[in-house]
């Protein structure tokens, strides 16, 4: 079955440590995205990638880094520079939007990773 997988579901880290969240998809999607959700708030875009070896900052990229060495994988590193890292992190993938016009599309989400920094 095709899908998008985030791991782990729960993650605990000490303050000051970097931590990497995994996101893998086998949907052959070009585009991948990382979002953060805080209580009572919407989904805020951290980084996105439209193609392998290329990625762009979203609205709240500070303190985060990503890589896109393979089409299937888009790991997110939460660095010690991120001032408030405790949150629910969501990864998504979609067909590259330049191919979408006139057809149906959707973006698939993983189940999320809840990161708690103590």
Partner 1 sequence: DQQVKQNSPSLSVQEGRISILNCDYTNSMFDYFLWYKKYPAEGPTFLISISSIKDKNEDGRFTVFLNKSAKHLSLHIVPSQPGDSAVYFCAAIIRGGKLIFGQGTELSVKP
Q: Which residues bind partner 1 (CB under 8 A)?
A: 6, 31, 33, 35, 41-45, 48, 50, 56, 58, 88, 90, 92, 94, 96-98, 100-112, 114
Least separation in angstroms between residue 63's CB and partner 1 is 19
Q: Which is nearer to partner 1, 5 or 17 (CB)?
A: 5
3-state secondary structure the chain: CCCEEEECCEEEECCCCCEEEEEEECCCCCEEEEEEECCCCCEEEEEEEEECCEEEECCCCCCEEECCCECCECCEEECCCCCCCCEEEEEEEECCHHHCCCCCCCEEECCCEEEEEC
Q: Which is nearer to partner 1, 5 or 18 (CB)?
A: 5
Q: Which is nearer to partner 1, 84 or 104 (CB)?
A: 104
Token pair belonging to 24: 């893998």
Least separation in angstroms between residue 18's CB and partner 1 is 24
Least separation in angstroms between residue 11's CB and partner 1 is 13
Least separation in angstroms between residue 7's CB and partner 1 is 13
């Amino acid at each position: 079955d095709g899908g998008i997988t985030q791991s782990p579901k729960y993650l605990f880290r000490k303050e000051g440590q970097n931590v990497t969240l995994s996101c893998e998809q086998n949907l052959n999607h070009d585009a991948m995205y990382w979002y953060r959700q805080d209580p009572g708030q919407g989904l805020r875009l951290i980084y996105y990638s439209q193609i392998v070896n290329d990625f762009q900052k979203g609205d709240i990229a500070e303190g985060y880094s990503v890589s896109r060495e393979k089409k299937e994988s888009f790991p997110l590193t939460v660095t010690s520079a991120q001032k408030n890292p405790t949150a629910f992190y969501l990864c998504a993938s979609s067909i590259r939007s330049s191919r979408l016009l006139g057809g149906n599309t959707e973006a698939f989400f993983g189940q999320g990773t809840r990161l708690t920094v103590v």
